């Protein structure tokens, strides 16, 4: 066999094909197959049109609200507790009664306290008598001292007599001073006893209504100690001015400040809202009753109602909507238009569009674990029938719209729904704007 025939291989028709030519044919075939697949992907991708809802960017007046629930309480409420132990001998009011400041509410048995006053009054009189005796003794000692001093001046009395007379006068003066202080002490004890006696007759401190009565005639009122509270006899509330005590979540309380306006809705008056103003913002969190440390916490916020509440009662359930910010004629988009995209995903989708590769090939290089792979807040605007992601910076939000601080000029049309479309839409993908279906159409 010649050298030429030894280097050849038999072909299908009895001829011989060079190995290099065979490799070239196989390579061309692979290129044609891959190209067909890529072309098919591109054609299929180009034909994918996502149906979306859209809205023109417009200027709106936005009001940002913080909602919280709580209860209505009177601005001024007095809880009457027992200051001194004793049996309730007289109860002059009942729940629902209107009272004025100074009206009699109840009386605790005054007998032992009256006896104490009488005893201390007698002790005061005895101390006053002792004071009078001491003052008389002091006067006599002074006269005797003056007489001795005169005799000493005429040489008729000795220095010893002078010293004795001066000493007796000083002692008498000290006794008088001590008796005078004893009188003051007795007067103070008597005043305290009279004060205690006056306290067993309980009078109203304010004008208001009796909202609670916790005692009956004949029961014993117990005073409080360091660890145990005393008996709350009754409660008086001034219902002319009410306030709503609501609990605000920790994420919202940072936006609330004194003086902000609010609207309060009371469950008993579902068709009426009452104007109010924030008068107190808690600085300490309301600890959860369960004691769990990982739970979100709330803060107490007090809204004082500027409107009167007819037939108001303490403890009514209420909801407050506090106005934390207002913006006039600002660029705004629907809340559902906002979405978040990873920077790497946007970059890969953009490069895919430029290279003309299929979606699978483009996303295969997406590495969600990149160190600089940040999430970007933005929305999709419609340009030439395609969705283009536009990063934006937002401001305040109302119930349905976000304020746009930067990223839009106001001439754009943005994709607003549906939620699935916004979540899955890709950079540069073709879109078709459709009207939002009503509930009736969906049911049919």
pLDDT of 182 reads: 96
pLDDT of 4 reads: 41
| SS3 labels along the chain | CCHHHHCCEECCCCCEECHHHHHHHHHHHHHHHHHHHHHHHHHHHHHCEEEEEEEECEEEEEEEEEEEEEEEEEEEEEEEECCCCEEEEEECCCCCCEECCCCEEEEECCHHHHHHHHHHHHHHHHHHHHHHHHHHHHHHHHHHHHHHHHHHHCCCCCHHHHHHHHHHHHHHHHHHHHHHHHHHHHHHHHHHHHHHHHHCEEECCCCEEEEEECCCCCCEECCCCCCCCCCEEEEEEEEEEEEEEEEEECCCHHHCCCCCEEEEEECCCCCCEEEEEEEEEEEEEECCCCCCCCCCCEEEEEEEECCCCCCCCCCCEEEEEEEEEEEEEEEEEEHHHCEEEEHHHHHHHHHHHHHCCCHHHHHHCCCCCCCCCCEEEEEEEEECCEEEEEECEEEEECCCEEEEEECCCCCCEEEEECHHHHHHCCCCCEEEECCCCCHHHHHC
Percent of the chain with pLDDT over 70: 80
pLDDT of 374 reads: 83
Nearest to 237 by CA among 75, 72, 93, 71: 75
Tell me the per-residue pLDDT of 85-120, one tens digit each, with 9 for 90 and over. 899 999 999 999 999 999 999 999 999 999 999 999
pLDDT of 42 reads: 47
d(CA 32, CA 90): 108
Higher pLDDT, residue 41 or 297:
297
At which residue do the structure tokens 């009371």 appear?
266
**Residue 214 pLDDT more than 70?**
yes
**Residue 7 pLDDT more than 90?**
no
Nearest to 93 by CA among 103, 102, 84, 85: 103
Segment 9-22 shows an average pLDDT of 50
**Any bridge partners for residue 392, and if so which?**
none
Percent of the chain with pLDDT over 90: 61
pLDDT of 153 reads: 87
Q: What is the pTM of this model?
A: 0.65
Higher pLDDT, residue 39 or 95:
95
Segment 297-304 shows an average pLDDT of 94
pLDDT of 361 reads: 44
pLDDT of 6 reads: 39
210-214, 340-344, 349-353 — which one is most confidently predicted on average? 210-214
Tell me the per-residue pLDDT of 57-91, one tens digit each, with 9 for 90 and over. 999 999 999 999 999 999 999 999 888 889 999 99
Judging by beta carbons within 10 Å of its beta carbon (0-12, 13-18, 19+), is residue 360 exposed, middle or buried? exposed
Tell me the per-residue pLDDT of 217-252, one tens digit each, with 9 for 90 and over. 999 888 876 666 677 899 999 998 999 999 999 999
Tell me the per-residue pLDDT of 397-419, one tens digit each, with 9 for 90 and over. 998 999 999 999 988 999 998 88
pLDDT of 375 reads: 87
Tell me the per-residue pLDDT of 146-187, one tens digit each, with 9 for 90 and over. 999 998 888 888 889 889 999 999 999 999 999 999 999 999
Higher pLDDT, residue 36 or 96:
96
At which residue do the structure tokens 């011989």 appear?
16
- Band the pLDDT of 336: cuts 50, 70, 90: very high
d(CA 92, CA 106): 5
d(CA 73, CA 64): 26
Segment 285-305 shows an average pLDDT of 80
- Band the pLDDT of 275: cuts 50, 70, 90: very high
């Amino acid at each position: 066999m010649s050298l030429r025939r030894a280097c050849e291989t038999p072909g299908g028709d009895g001829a011989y094909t060079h190995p290099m030519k065979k490799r070239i044919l196989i390579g061309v075939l692979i290129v044609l197959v891959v190209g067909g697949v890529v072309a098919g992907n591109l054609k299929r991708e180009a034909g994918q049109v996502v149906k979306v809802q859209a809205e023109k960017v417009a200027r709106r007046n936005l009001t940002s609200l913080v909602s919280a629930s709580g209860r209505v309480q009177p601005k001024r409420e007095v809880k009457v507790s027992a200051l001194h132990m004793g049996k309730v001998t007289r109860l002059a009011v009942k729940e629902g009664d209107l009272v004025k400041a100074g009206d009699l509410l109840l009386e605790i048995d005054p007998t032992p306290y009256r006896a104490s006053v009488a005893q201390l009054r007698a002790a005061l009189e005895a101390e006053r008598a002792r004071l009078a005796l001491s003052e008389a003794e002091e006067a006599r000692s002074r006269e005797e001292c003056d007489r001795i001093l005169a005799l000493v001046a005429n040489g008729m009395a000795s220095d010893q007599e002078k010293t004795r007379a001066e000493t007796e006068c000083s002692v008498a003066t000290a006794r008088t001073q001590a008796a005078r202080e004893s009188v003051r002490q007795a007067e103070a004890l008597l005043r305290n006893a009279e004060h205690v006696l006056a306290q067993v007759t309980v009078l109203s401190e304010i004008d208001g209504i009796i909202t609670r009565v916790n005692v009956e005639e004949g029961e014993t009122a117990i005073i409080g100690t360091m660890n145990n509270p005393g008996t709350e006899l009754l409660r008086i509330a001034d219902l002319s001015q009410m306030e709503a005590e609501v609990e605000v979540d920790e994420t919202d309380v940072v936006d609330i400040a004194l003086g902000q306006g609010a609207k309060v809705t009371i469950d008993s008056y579902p068709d009426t809202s009452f104007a109010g103003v924030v008068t107190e913002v808690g600085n300490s969190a309301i600890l959860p009753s369960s004691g769990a440390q990982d739970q979100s916490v709330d803060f107490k916020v007090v809204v004082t109602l500027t409107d009167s509440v007819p037939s108001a009662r303490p403890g009514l359930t209420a909801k407050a909507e506090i106005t934390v910010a207002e913006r006039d004629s600002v660029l705004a988009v629907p809340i559902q238009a906002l979405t978040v995209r990873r920077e790497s995903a946007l970059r890969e989708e953009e490069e895919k569009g430029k290279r003309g590769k299929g979606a699978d090939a483009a996303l295969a290089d997406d590495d969600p674990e990149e160190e600089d792979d940040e999430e970007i807040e933005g929305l999709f605007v419609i340009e030439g029938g395609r969705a283009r992601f536009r990063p934006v910076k937002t401001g305040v939000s109302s119930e349905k719209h976000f304020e746009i601080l930067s990223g839009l000029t106001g001439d754009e049309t943005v994709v607003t729904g549906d939620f699935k479309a916004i979540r899955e839409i890709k950079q540069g993908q073709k879109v078709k704007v459709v009207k939002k279906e009503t509930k009736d159409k969906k049911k049919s």
